[in-house]
Amino acid sequence: MDRTTLIDIEDRYGAHNYLPLDVVIERGEGVWVYDVAGKRYLDCLSAYSALNQGHCHRRVIQALVDQAQKLTLTSRAFRNDQLPLLCKEICKLAGYGMFLPMNTGAEAVETALKTARRWAYEEKGVPDGQAEMITCQNNFHGRTITIITFSTEPLYRDGFGPFTPGFVTIPYGDAGALERAITPHTAAFLVEPIQGEAGVIVPPDGYLKQVRDICTRHNVLFMADEIQTGLGRTGKLFACDHENVRPDVMILGKALGGGIYPVSGVLASKEILGIFEPGMHGSTFSGNPLGAAVARESLRVLVEEGMIENAAVMGGYFIGHLREALDGNERVRDIRGKGLLVGVELHVEVGGARKFCEELAVRGLLCKETHKDVVRFAPPLMIDGEATDWAMQQIVEVLDMPLSDLRTVS
C-alpha cells in the first residue's frame, strides 16, 4: 500500500496522540530504515534510544525466533528457564544484587516508586502513608497518572487529574535544592542523569556525585531513570558511570529489549528489592521467557560487539565536529550531550526545530524535535564513521539553508 493511503487509514482509525513525520517505514537494518517506496533513511532517533543495538539485529532476532518456537509465556505462576539467567546476567553486568523485571519503561518507574515507598515504611521508619518523593523540573519518566503527577509539562498533565499525592519537584542540576527539599519523610530522589525528553539537558559536572552524597547522608534512595541514557547510549554502560556514581535503584527499559520486544526492570540491592514479598507487585508478561531471551542477547550484543566503546568514540567525534562546523551559525544556541545522545538547541527566534527535521527527512536523515527548539540526534550505537560524516554534513547544510528553501515530507 502506498504512503498516503496508509497515512489516511491511520489518521482515520488511530487515535491522534502523536504527530509523526509523514514517513512510512517498512523495513530496517542496522542504522538504516526503508520506507514503503524503498527510500533509505539514516535513523538518528533510534526509537528514543530503544534501538541502541540497531534495527533487526541478526543475533537478537535469532534469539527471538529460537525462543518464540519453544516457549513464550508462563506468567509468574510458574518458573521458566530464561528469567533466572537474565536476572543473573544483568546483575553481574550492572553490579547489583537483584533485578525485578517489567515490560515498559513507565511500569519500571512505577515499580521503583512502589519500592521506595515500601522501603521508607519498612526500613526507614516513615509513618504509614506519609512517604515523600523528590523529582526534577522538566523530567520525563513516562505517562501513567502517578508519573504525570510530577511532570512539569502542561501538555502531559492538563485534564488528567486528580493526581497522586506525595511528590515534590525541584530544579534539575541543583544539588542544594535537593538537600533543602529533603524532610524526615523523604523516601527517594528520582532523577535522569541526562534529561533526554527535556532537550538533552546535561547537569553540571559533579552533580550526580553530590546527589549520591546527599542521599547517603539523609538515608534517601537515589533512583536513576536510565531508561534512555543507559545501556551504552552515552558512551558508558550507564550515564552515572561518567561520575563513577552508583544509584541505589537503577531503572532500565528501552534498549534492554533491543528495540524488538518491550523489556524493562529495576536493579537494586537485595536489601532494597527484598522488601517485595509474593503477591505485592507484578505483571502478567513480566519476566516472560521470550522477553528474557531477547534481553539476554541484547545485553550480550552491546558488550561483545563493542557498541558502548563505539558510542563513546563516534559520539565524541559527532559533538566535536558539530560544534566546530556550526560555530558561527546564528540559529544555533547550544550543542550538548554525551556519547551518542546529542542535542542541538536553536534560538527561540528561529521558530522551532520541526522544519529542519522535515528537510533532513527529505534528505534521508530521520530525527525529531523535542520541546520545540531542540533537535535530538541519537543513532544506533554501531553507526560507523562514514554514516556519521554523512549525517553531520546534512545537519550542517540544513541548518544553514534559507527557511524558504526547506522542504517537507508531506
Ligand X SMILES: *Cc1c(COP(=O)(O)O)cnc(C)c1O
Looking at beta carbons only, is 194 or 292 nearer to ligand X? 194
- Catalytic one among 124, 150, 189, 225? 225
Residue 110 interacts with ligand X (CB under 6 A): yes or no: no
| Residues 237, 307: Cα–Cα separation, whole Å | 10
User: Does 45 contact ligand X by CB under 6 A?
Assistant: no
Residue from 192, 243, 369, 373 that binds ligand X (CB under 6 A)? 192
Q: Name which of 192 and 345 has its Cβ closer to ligand X.
A: 192
Q: Whole-angstrom Cα distance, residue 289 to residue 297?
A: 12
Contact call for residue 265 and ligand X (CB under 6 A): no
Sole binder of ligand X in the list 41, 96, 140, 285 (CB under 6 A): 140
Q: Which is nearer to ligand X, 301 or 341 (CB)?
A: 341
Q: How far is the CB of 192 from ligand X (least distance, A)?
A: 5
Q: Which residues between 69 and 108 bind ligand X (CB under 6 A)?
A: 104-106
Q: Does 257 bind ligand X (CB under 6 A)?
A: no
Contact flag: residue 196 with ligand X (CB under 6 A): yes
Q: Which of 46, 37, 10 is CA-nearest to residue 383? A: 46
> Binding marks (x or -) toward ligand X, 204..243, rule CB under 6 A?
---------------------x-xx---------------
Residue 249 Cβ vs ligand X, minimum distance, rounded to whole Å: 13
DSSP class of 127: P
Sequence-ordered alpha helix ranges (H) in 237-338: 270-273, 289-304, 307-325
Say which residue the cell 517498512 belongs to.
Answer: 26
For residue 193, whether the previous peptide bond is cis, meaning omega lies within 30 degrees of 0, is no
140 is an active site residue: yes
User: Which residue pairs, CB below 8 angstroms and at least 24 apart, start in 399-403?
Assistant: 399/326, 399/329, 399/331, 399/332, 399/344, 399/346, 399/356, 400/329, 401/359, 403/355
391 binds ligand X (CB under 6 A): no
Cα dihedral sign, 196-268-61-14: negative
In the bound state, the residue with its beta carbon closest to ligand X is 105
CB atoms within 10 A of CB 34: 15
C-alpha cell read off for 10: 491511520
Query: Residue 295 Cβ, how far from ligand X at the closest point, in Å?
Result: 14
Say how far apart CA 209 and CA 193 lie, in whole Å: 11
Q: Is 291 in the site for ligand X (CB under 6 A)?
A: no
Catalytic residue, candidates 124, 254, 338, 368: 254
Query: Considering only 58-66, 139-147, 178-186, 326-334, which stretch makes contact with ligand X by CB under 6 A?
Result: 139-147
> Cell numbers of 91, please?
546483575
Active site residues: 140, 225, 254
Interface with ligand X (CB under 6 A): 48, 104-106, 109, 140-142, 192, 196, 225, 227-228, 253-254
